[in-house]
Structures are given as C-alpha cells and as structure tokens.
Amino acid sequence: MENVTDLLLESGAMLEGHFLLSSGCHSDRYFQCAKLLQYPQKAREVFQRVASKIQDDIKNGILKTDLTAGPAVGGIIAAWELGRQLGVPSIFTERDETGGMTLRRGFEIQSGQHVLIVEDVVTTGKSTMECAVALEKAGAVIAGLACIVDRRSRSCEPFPWPFYPAVKLEAGNWEASQCELCKKGIAAVKPGSRKI
C-alpha cells in the first residue's frame, strides 16, 4: 500500500501555484482529487486505511453507519468508494437552483439512519456543514466525516463528529486581502466547481 501523498503526486492531484478556492480563500496548493479518483486502484488504496479505522470504531461501538453521502461534485466518487469498502449504500447531496445543498434524484434517508459524510478535500468545512444540514433535514443522524485530504488550518474548529482523514497536509489558506501571492502580483486561477 502506497503513501497517500505519493498517490496524490503520482496522479497529478497535488498542484502548486496560486489558487482561488471554493471557500473564497486563496492558496499556494490545490488538491484536484478527481485526478486520483479516476484510477479505481488508487481510490481503493487511499480509502483502505480509512475504512479499516472506521470498521474498528464500528466494532468497538464508537460509530454506526448505515450509508455514506458525499457533497457533489468532489464527494460523489469518494463516498461511493468508501461505501463500497464498508458495504453500505452511497448517496450524494448537490446544489439546487438557489445554490443550497439538498438531496435530489430520488435519494431518501430513513429517519434516524446514521450517515457518514465523505469528502475529497476539507478546507474550511463549509461544504461538509451544508451537506450535514441537508442530510439532517432529511432525517439523518450524522455519524462522522471522512476525507482524502484534510487541509484545514490549525485554527479551525473541530468537527462535532468523529473525523477520518486519509492524510493531513499543510497548505497556505488566506483571505483574499491577506494573500501572500496576491501581494506578489501572481494571478490566481479557480480550478474548483463551486461558484463563489
């Protein structure tokens, strides 16, 4: 089993430069996990350790999960792969015409079902929390959160549920007015899918 950072590099998923993130922040690194997730073997390897930790917590009564859910777009394949390894169904939330996160496509949650949210990358946790609100509105109990890359700054509040990142990586994360790269006159690119 390869190191997660090596898998990100091999697949071209870890980029260096000046990026405008979906959160509105600027960064010197961007994690395009779709580049990694296009390879089923790499996706399997990335989530094996995560699935193993989750299965241990399930056996020890720390966690219960009935299904996985990923916020579209980045969380769809990630949630599917982790759901496959855990042996549970996988669904996703997506944005509606107002930009709000919601369940669509006929997905349903039974009241009280335990749902594990799965992301590709967690930067501020905004998408995660929006996904959680949509799932809870549909009757879910949020069991925990898993992701490929945890790139949150150290000052971020912890999540209110168990958290299972495949890897924790450091990356610049600045408000636009404080961006070190903007101060140097380096143009930013926006590779993400969410409109800011």
Q: Are strands 67-71 and 26-31 parallel, antiparallel or unpaired?
A: unpaired
CATH of residue 148: 3.40.50.2020
3-state SS, residue 148: strand
50-66, pLDDT tens digit by residue?
999 999 999 999 999 99
Q: Which residues of the chain have pLDDT under 50?
A: none
Domain count across the chain: 1
pLDDT of residue 192: 67
Q: Would residue 122 count as lying in a domain? A: yes
pLDDT of residue 44: 96
Q: Would residue 194 count as lying in a domain? A: no
pLDDT of residue 172: 85
- Residue 44 near residue 81, CB atoms below 8 Å: yes
Q: Would residue 84 count as lying in a domain? A: yes
pLDDT of residue 2: 66
136-150, pLDDT tens digit by residue?
999 999 999 999 999
